[in-house]
Amino acid sequence: MDSINEKSLLTESQFEQSDVEYDQKEVAYGGFFEMQKWQLRHRMFSGEWTENFQREIFCRGNAVAGIIYDPWRDEIALIEQFRVGAHAHPTGPWCLEVVAGMMDKGGESPEEVMARELEEEAGLQAKDMEFICRYLSSPGGTDEEVFLYALLCDLSEAGGIHGLDEEHEDIRLLVFPAQEVFAAMLNGRMNNAATLIGLQWLQLNRERLRGQAAVVE
């Protein structure tokens, strides 16, 4: 790495898409989601190329997620719903989460999808929406990218059961004082990346959001 500015690696890789060669791509399974099987090789840090090898890619598509916060009441809303992937988790398959959904309708921006999912899963409309980050949920095996937001909402009358019957959703909206959520967020009930990242971001930005809300009032 003598000829590479190591500091620049914090913002971009020395490699790019042309440093990967795909010999074959085929669909191994096609259903609600798709699993693909690829034969590929890529350039190594030594400058040489790897041999051809196989990887399976879970093609899930992109998603949005949003942490619901009321800066006027200092409250956080989380949804609770059944998640089959958590069937063996010690706390059980009913998880506390942020609102989220797939970007599966063409032509919609991430913000439009986020607003729709907030209405469907929580019965709320955001007074303001702040972009937090975008991240790959598990790049070792899936192409899913998540667009994460802070959703500033009035939670004075929030609660109840939400979700779409045609999507077999049974979603309960729960509202808690922010400090109680922060104290419990690592106990295992909030066990997915979008929720934990959103809550940690909110911890760092909570006072700023409350101050901005007070000015608006």
Q: How many CA atoms lie within 13 A of 151 on its CB side?
A: 31
pLDDT at 205 over 70: yes
Please, is 74 exposed, middle or buried when counting C-beta atoms within 10 Å of its C-beta (0-12, 13-18, 19+)? middle
Higher pLDDT, 2 or 85: 85
- Among residues 169, 168, 152, 167, the alpha carbon closest in space to that of 77 is found at 152
Structural domains in the chain, CATH included, are 10-59 (no CATH), 63-216 (3.90.79.10)
120 is catalytic: no
Residue 55 near residue 40, CB atoms below 8 Å: yes
Q: How does pLDDT run across 42-100, given as a tens digit for each residue?
A: 999 999 999 999 999 998 889 999 999 999 999 999 999 999 889 999 988 999 999 99
Mean pLDDT of 110-120: 97
**Model-level pTM?**
0.89
Which of these is catalytic: 12, 26, 167, 217? 167
